[in-house]
Amino acid sequence: MIYKVPYRILFMLFATMLMAQASYSQTNEQRALELKREKLQNEIREINRLLFAEKKEKGNVLDQMEALDQKINVRQQLIRVTNQQSNLLNRQINANIRNISKLRQELKSLKEEYAAMIQKSYQNKSKQSRLMFLLSSKNFYQAFKRFQYMKQYTEFRKKQGEQIIEKTDDLARLNKDLNEERKVKEILIAQNQKAKDLLMVEIKNQKELLGTIRKNEGKYASAIEKKKQEAKQIDRQIDNLIRSAIALSNKEAGKTNSSSNTFVLTPEATIVANNFSANKGKLIWPVEKGFKSQGFGVYNDAVYPGVKHESNGVIITTDQGAKARAIFKGEVIAIISVPGGNKAVQIKHGNYISTYYNLSNLYVKKGDMVEAKTPLGDIYTNRDNGQTRLKFYLHKDTAKLNPEEWVYQL
């Protein structure tokens, strides 16, 4: 007789595998949230270092308002992510409590089954010895089958013993994990409370700044309008230069009748464009370090929430003396100089264009071929507020792209 493993034990093994898989999935989710939380914490540190390092605030209240608004936004994101982590830990803790209860029940059943098997084995041994069991066989084949049965029975008993040890170890591990998860949750709750306290202080400061601005509303309203007009002027100039570059490139390729909105690519330029596209989400930052102080798209004004602004690129705040660098290999197709403003560099990557605005000293000229990380120029530092900001734009032909989707963790 060959002993078959009971379906109950097979089901228990299958359930254990599913539990392990669910735990692995939650661990990956927890790891992703932790990475996101670390990124936000680093961003807050960079904001404090670059915008709030001096005890005496630099710049006018509009600059302070924008900086504070940025920090509040990041702080709110941090609180949300920490809440997500805490909720996930809650689910893991509850799952572990259920698993511990289930394991205890399975361990109890295994021990009872194992005890019954030992008792039955002892009773059989008292009635007939193993040797007599073999010798009483009618023929050699039956003796062989009985020997195999005894061997399998012994092996199964051994496996049951090992299962008991394994389940006991699993139970101890789950209890240990449960204690660690509870400690981590307590830390997260404490950190989140601290973040909420800081947020309340920052919101209070923001309200005080807003009160100062309201007293001089006319002055600040005109300053906001001036910034909007400057942004529109830069956008128009960038668009015009891209269209000019397309027209010139297509004329040189002998495609004068082609659309003025798209590049006609040579085989070599197609390879560059395909490589650029393949690196979406993995492109390097256009600065060595810093933080995103203004994202892409439509956003509310920090002072007048009812007023909408549109950003066709992103603004990155960095250290004084920082240099802009190429995000990918390509050709410098234009040097932009805004009257009364600063300079910009445009680089063509196949039919993709990256633009680096608010530079002072330039290290490249039109026609230069550059590689990723090639220094392009010094980023201008505003003397009034001490801030060093790079305005970075990305296009595919004339279509505006969101750099946050292309540059790694921007």
Q: Count of alpha carbons within 13 Å of 203, Cβ hemisphere only?
A: 10
Instruction: Provide the β-strand partners of residue 349.
Output: 352
Question: Which position has the token pair 């093994």?
Answer: 13
Identify whether 180 is part of a domain.
Answer: yes
> What global pTM score does this model have?
0.66
Q: Count of alpha carbons within 13 Å of 260, Cβ hemisphere only?
A: 8
Number of domains in the chain: 2
Q: What's the pLDDT score for residue 126?
A: 46
Single out the residue in 215, 240, 264 at which a domain terminates: 215
Question: Are both 65 and 154 inside the same structural domain?
Answer: yes
Instruction: Render pLDDT for 174-197 as a digit per residue (tens, 0 to 9).
Output: 777 777 778 888 888 888 888 888
Q: What's the pLDDT score for residue 137?
A: 62
Identify whether 410 is part of a domain.
Answer: no
Question: Are both 151 and 172 inside the same structural domain?
Answer: yes
Per DSSP, 312 falls in state S
Q: What's the pLDDT score for residue 59?
A: 52
Q: What's the pLDDT score for residue 336?
A: 85
Question: Are both 130 and 257 inside the same structural domain?
Answer: no
Q: What's the pLDDT score for residue 186?
A: 83
> Interhelix angle for 7-51 vs 61-127, to 10°?
160
Inter-CA distances, 325 with 230, 261, 380, Å = 24, 27, 14
Q: What's the pLDDT score for residue 161?
A: 62
How far is Cα 106 from Cα 104, in angstroms, rounded to an integer? 5
Q: Please, which residues have CB within 8 angstroms of residue 321's CB and are 6 or more apart in sequence?
A: 378, 381, 388
Identify whether 1 is part of a domain.
Answer: no
Q: By the 8 A CB rule, do 293 and 316 touch?
A: yes
Q: What's the pLDDT score for residue 56?
A: 45
Instruction: Provide the β-strand partners of residue 347.
Output: 332, 354
Per DSSP, 403 falls in state G
> Interhelix angle for 217-252 vs 61-127, to 10°?
70
Q: What's the pLDDT score for residue 225?
A: 75
Question: Residue 297: which of 280, 315, 309, 281 has the closest Cα?
Answer: 309
How far is Cα 55 from Cα 59, in angstroms, rounded to an integer? 13
Query: Domain range holding 58?
Result: 7-215
Q: Which residue ranges in the chain fall short of pLDDT 50?
A: 1-11, 13, 24, 54-58, 126-127
Question: Are both 232 and 209 inside the same structural domain?
Answer: no
Question: Are both 190 and 320 inside the same structural domain?
Answer: no
Question: Are both 102 and 131 inside the same structural domain?
Answer: yes
Single out the residue in 169, 184, 215 at which a domain terminates: 215
Question: Are both 331 and 353 inside the same structural domain?
Answer: yes
Other beta carbons within 10 Å of 45: 11
Question: Are both 103 and 199 inside the same structural domain?
Answer: yes
Q: By the 8 A CB rule, do 273 and 256 touch?
A: no
CA 370 to chain centroid: 29
Identify whether 261 is part of a domain.
Answer: yes
Q: By the 8 A CB rule, do 345 and 269 touch?
A: no
Single out the residue in 215, 238, 264 at which a domain terminates: 215
Burial of residue 374, with CB atoms counted within 10 A of its CB: 0-12 exposed, 13-18 middle, 19 or more buried: buried
Instruction: Render pLDDT for 4-44 as a digit per residue (tens, 0 to 9).
Output: 444 444 445 455 555 555 554 557 887 888 888 888 888 88
Identify whether 140 is part of a domain.
Answer: yes
How far is Cα 356 from Cα 123, in angstroms, rounded to an integer? 87
CATH no. for residue 367?
Answer: 2.70.70.10
Q: Count of alpha carbons within 13 Å of 125, Cβ hemisphere only?
A: 7
129's tokens = 């010895």
